Amino acid sequence: MRAGRPSRTAEYMALFRALESTRPAGQRAFSDPLAAGFLTPPLRAAVALAGLPLLGELVPRVVDCRWPGPRASAIVRTRIIDDALGQALHDGARQVVVLGAGYDTRAYRTDGIDATRVFEVDHPSTQASKRARLEHLIGPVPPYVSFVGIDFDKDKLGAALLRAGYAQTEATFFIWEGVTNYLTAEAVDTTLRWVAEHSGPGSAICFTYIHRGLLDGSASFPGSEPWVAAVRSAGEPFTFGWDPAELADYLAERGLRLISDVSTLPGGFYRVALARTAA
């Protein structure tokens, strides 16, 4: 992220979710009615075109030509995390913490989430833009949502959450989407250890990551070059990843038990994992 402006990748994700939401109810993977509200006017116009018969089919194709891979991956990861959140709420989670929330709208579109405390954690630049747009879209931010501004590479997550009213003994569901691949190994390690040590029984974390082979060249992923180039040109290059074969042991050493780990695309480098606290 360049200082002083919101994340470009956060806007790309909002675009991909908005495009998927224009599809007919029986065909789309999810509905995010707020996503288009976070876009610049040209991108909002593209989403409006996508909702038109026939012509609308061309818009996702144009997006995929410009950014090959990310849109389809974003759709899959959104649905996986939506389902995991829904299950966590059903199982009794009392808090939801969205780490690196970006333009995530789950706090405002998920059934039953208003019965929990939601903490949206992100860089202040992105949060300022998001809050302004949310107030335009839905009015005042709901009282069950708290915004917690931090820089994951510099600030202490625990201290910031505790100041915001986070309860360490409650069952909590953490969402860490589209973040680990932009951090340092130390920041990732510190965050996961804190989650494991400072959340109540039944807590879990759902997070995305990239295959480390993409970074060190030990694995090949056809079609990945344009995607990697796009995030680099946006000033947000990939910096961290795991080897999926090592993830379970890595998490176990930090007090977490791996439940699932899947790729968002066949043979792809982008993955979604779910882990529970060891207790």
**3-class DSSP state for residue 51?**
coil
**Neighbouring C-beta atoms of residue 188, cutoff 10 Å:** 23
Mind listing the pLDDT tens digit for each residue in 106-123?
999 999 999 999 999 998
For the chain, the C-alpha Rg in angstroms (whole number) is 18
Q: How buried is residue 42: exposed, middle or buried, by Cβ count under 10 Å (0-12/13-18/19+)?
A: exposed
Residues 6+ apart with CB under 8 A from 257: 251, 275, 276, 277, 278
Q: Where in the chain is the domain with CATH 3.40.50.150?
A: 70-277
pLDDT at 171 over 70: yes
The CATH number of domain 70-277 is 3.40.50.150: yes
Question: Which backbone phi and psi does 210 adopt, to 5 degrees?
Answer: -110, 150
Residues 33-55 pLDDT 10s: 999 999 999 999 999 999 998 77
247/252 Cα distance (integer angstroms):
9
**Other C-beta atoms lying within 10 Å of the C-beta of residue 95:** 21
251: number of Cβ within 10 Å: 22
SS3 137: helix
Whole-number pLDDT of residue 279: 63
User: Residue 1: is its pLDDT beyond 70?
Assistant: no
Q: Is 110 left (phi over 0), alpha (psi -120 to 50) or beta?
A: beta
Lowest mean pLDDT among 1-5, 73-77, 94-98: 1-5
Predicted confidence (pLDDT) at residue 75 exceeds the cutoff of 70: yes
pTM, rounded to two decimals: 0.94
